[in-house]
Amino acid sequence: MNRERTLVPLVAVLLAAQLAGCEPAERRSRTTPAPPPALRAEGEPPRHDASPGPASAEQAASPSGEHFALRHAATLRAGPLELRSPHRRLAHQIRGSGHTHCAPDHSGIDAAAQQRRLMGLGPDHRHHFVWITAHDFVAPDPDVPGVQHMFGVEIYTKRLEARQSPHVLALLPDGALADPAKRPFGVYELDVQGASSAIARAGGLAVLAHPSRYSPSLEAVKAVDEHLWALEILSGSTDPDANAAFVDARLSAGKYTCLSAGGDIHDEDYKLTLGYQVVDVAGPRPTRDELFEAVRRCNFFACAVKGVRHGPIRRPALELRDGGIHFSSNTVLRSVRFVGRGGEVLHEARSTARASYSPQIGDSYVRVEAVSADGAARCYSQPTWIVQRRQTP
Ligand SMILES: [Zn+2]
Ligand SMILES: [Zn+2]
């Protein structure tokens, strides 16, 4: 109880700070052709870039074979390289928030109300499913018709030296841990590694929430093993470029990591579309098990729109063929960027609905960032993992 009372003002102050800082940061990222140099400089020390030979490619690739998404990835041989991508185009795409709060945490709004307003955003923005991720407890299914409840929780992990607590989301397969009175992963008890491993043991998916807020250092995030399944690239009002620095640091260190998205929605209205997953599924109404499995395989895009008066990026798709990575959508895009090691922009296409990039020896991963023509919508692909095949003498 004391914890909640002290957190409310802290969160309010931080939220206000983020609101004040959000607009300029977003505008900056949309008019600058490459990520800010500071992000790239922090992303990965140069010594990693200096040895792109077969040995380093093997070293980089080996730990990531453990990531669930790679075990089910589509693969393509391209000369000396093998490309692996979680994306598979299926008949339908459905939308859902990866990070939504509900009372009795300090969000002040109940789970059913959250799901109803996300479902009611109109045909371009309606959510088909919602991961309810309340602080520290797993909320029961409120049984709202027309929307799939997905079980989750946002955990306060052990405080760092500067006293902030990194937040880790658990996306859970079922309601086995659902109980507003229980704290199944503790409060301020586990560190990010401990929480990630505990979530994996519970059959769930661990996501570092809003990496650029309350986070450990880049070095500490890189050190966590692949029980940390994803990082939030889009998370409410946080700056996606600042979150991307953590994503690129981890990928550059050879840890395969998926990109997730959620509005981090409390009781405010403006964040409803500021982060959601666009999942490829075979039918329009997948069961909870089918949806969990699709998300676990990372067959989704992380997307956001500034508000409901702007259109989303429609039908994002990523395919491996003809030796390359092909991104397309049904929306004209201002920019499609192919981003690789250390956050480097490898290729950028402008004013187009589709773009391609053929990976080179030395690329260890390639991920795509797409921004709509009006600059209001964006989608991030999952990383395509690039493995150098062993050469036969
Ligand atoms: Zn949080
Ligand atoms: Zn949150």
The tokens of 184 are what? 């199944």
Q: What does the pLDDT look like over 172-223, one tens digit per residue? A: 999 999 999 999 999 999 999 999 999 999 999 999 999 999 989 999 999 9
33: left (phi over 0), alpha (psi -120 to 50) or beta: alpha
User: Is residue 9 assigned to a domain?
Assistant: no
Q: What does the pLDDT look like over 273-303, one tens digit per residue? A: 999 999 999 999 999 999 999 999 999 999 9
Rg, the chain, Cα only: 20
Residue 262 CA: which ligand is closest? 2
Q: Look at residue 215 in the predicted model and tell me its pLDDT.
A: 87
Q: Look at residue 261 in the predicted model and tell me its pLDDT.
A: 98
336 CA distance to ligand 1 centroid (A)? 29
* 224, 192 Cβ separation under 8 angstroms: yes
Beta strands in the chain (DSSP E): 74-78, 81-85, 92-100, 129-132, 148-156, 167-171, 205-208, 228-235, 258-262, 276-281, 300-305, 317-321, 324-339, 345-357, 365-372, 377-380, 384-388
User: Is residue 41 assigned to a domain?
Assistant: no
User: Is residue 5 assigned to a domain?
Assistant: no
Task: Average the pLDDT over 77-94 and give the result.
Answer: 97
25: pLDDT strictly greater than 90: no
User: Is residue 111 assigned to a domain?
Assistant: yes
Q: Look at residue 390 in the predicted model and tell me its pLDDT.
A: 77
Residue 153 CA: which ligand is closest? 2
Q: What does the pLDDT look like over 61-81, one tens digit per residue? A: 344 558 999 999 999 999 999
CA distance readout (Å), 131 to 158, 179, 226, 341: 23, 15, 21, 30
Q: Look at residue 51 in the predicted model and tell me its pLDDT.
A: 31
Residue with tokens 């187009």: 352
Residue 205 burial (C-beta neighbours within 10 Å; 0-12, 13-18, 19+): buried
Task: Average the pLDDT over 45-52 and give the result.
Answer: 29
67 CA distance to ligand 2 centroid (A)? 25
**Residue 63 has what DSSP assignment?**
G
119: pLDDT strictly greater than 60: yes
User: Is residue 197 assigned to a domain?
Assistant: yes
Residues 118-133: b if buried by 16+ CB within 10 A, e if exposed: bbeeeeebebbbbbbb
1 CA distance to ligand 2 centroid (A)? 18
208 CA distance to ligand 1 centroid (A)? 9
CA distance readout (Å), 73 to 125, 297, 359: 28, 8, 17
In angstroms, the CA 150 to CA 46 distance is: 41
CATH number at 258 reads 3.20.20.140
pTM for the full predicted model: 0.84
324 CA distance to ligand 2 centroid (A)? 37
User: Is residue 133 assigned to a domain?
Assistant: yes
103: pLDDT strictly greater than 90: yes
The tokens of 123 are what? 């045909």
Nearest to 354 by CA among 336, 380, 368, 372: 336
Looking at 40-44, 239-243, 251-255, 388-392, which range is the least confident one?
40-44
Q: Could you give the residue ranges of the DSSP H alpha helices within 82-206?
A: 111-119, 192-201
Provide the residue count of the chain.
393
155 CA distance to ligand 1 centroid (A)? 8
Task: Average the pLDDT over 261-267 and give the result.
Answer: 97
Domain of 195 in residue numbering reads as 89-313
Task: Average the pLDDT over 51-65 and give the result.
Answer: 38
153 CA distance to ligand 2 centroid (A)? 9
User: Is residue 93 assigned to a domain?
Assistant: yes
- Give me the number of domains the chain comprises: 1
56: pLDDT strictly greater than 60: no
Task: Average the pLDDT over 16-31 and give the result.
Answer: 31
Share of the chain above pLDDT 90, in %: 82
Task: Average the pLDDT over 44-65 and give the result.
Answer: 35
45: pLDDT strictly greater than 50: no
Looking at 38-42, 59-63, 239-243, 370-374, which range is the least confident one?
38-42
101 CA distance to ligand 2 centroid (A)? 6
Task: Average the pLDDT over 34-56 and give the result.
Answer: 30
- Residue 192 β-bridge partners: none
Q: Look at residue 392 in the predicted model and tell me its pLDDT.
A: 59
User: Is residue 180 assigned to a domain?
Assistant: yes
117 CA distance to ligand 1 centroid (A)? 21
Report residue 58's pLDDT band, with 50, 70 and 90 as the boundaries.
very low
Q: Look at residue 34 in the predicted model and tell me its pLDDT.
A: 34
Q: Could you give the residue ranges of the DSSP H alpha helices within the chain?
A: 2-31, 37-43, 46-49, 54-61, 68-71, 111-119, 192-201, 218-223, 240-252, 288-296
In angstroms, the CA 258 to CA 294 distance is: 13
Task: Average the pLDDT over 235-245 and give the result.
Answer: 97
